[in-house]
Amino acid sequence: MLALACVTASGAFADAQESGRVGAGAPEDIFMEITRAEDGAVTIAPEEFTLAHGGYYRFNVVCPEALTSETGYHFEATELLENAHIRVLSVGEVDIEFYMQGLTFRAIECDDAGSARFSFHPMRKGVYPIHVRDQAVPPTEAFGRVVVE
């Protein structure tokens, strides 16, 4: 599944979204997996996403490891969220959904294995940073980016 997720996120399917046109229908799924490397560092895969301006996407943040509030991960993409129209935020494998209709949220935190996802339309072209950190003192961090063309 991760191989498919990486292909989807790498932009191989970005041609299905047309830049400058607000997407309709079902969102295109993209996945980011947060794990810990052998040396203890936080890692994300993939590190970059290329999206179409106005496209319709569902960003899946996946934390596959057993975690606690002391070892969990904190995901932020503040600038992307500020420049996107948020539609739906979903939590876990159960059908718990928050219909945002343009409202925003600040972060996603994984304190156990699981996933959260949000569907959105990127409304401004640009390069937006992704920041993921763990709860260690000092925290270890991983960085990625979303490119909206």
Q: What pLDDT does residue 20 have?
A: 64
Domain that holds residue 101: 2-148
Q: Count the domains in the chain.
A: 1
pLDDT exceeding 70 applies to what percent of the chain? 82
Give the pLDDT of residue 92: 80
Residue 139 has pLDDT above 70, yes or no: yes
Spatial separation of the C-alpha atoms in residues 42 and 101, rounded to whole Å: 32
As a whole number of Å, the end-to-end CA separation of the chain is: 26
Decide if pLDDT at 124 tops 60. yes
73-114 pLDDT tens trace: 999 999 999 999 998 899 887 667 888 776 678 899 999 999
Is the pLDDT assigned to residue 10 strictly greater than 80?
Answer: no
Q: Which two tokens stand for residue 129?
A: 């940073």
Q: What is the mean pLDDT of residues 9-27?
A: 62
Is 8 a residue whose pLDDT tops 60?
A: no
Provide the pLDDT confidence category of residue 126 given band limits of 50, 70 and 90.
very high
Domain holding 46: CATH number?
2.60.40.420
Q: What are the two backbone dihedrals, phi and then psi, of residue 8, each rounded to the nearest 5 degrees?
A: -60, -45
CB 33 within 8 A of CB 5: yes
Q: Give the residue, 27 or 5, on which the prediction is more confident.
A: 27
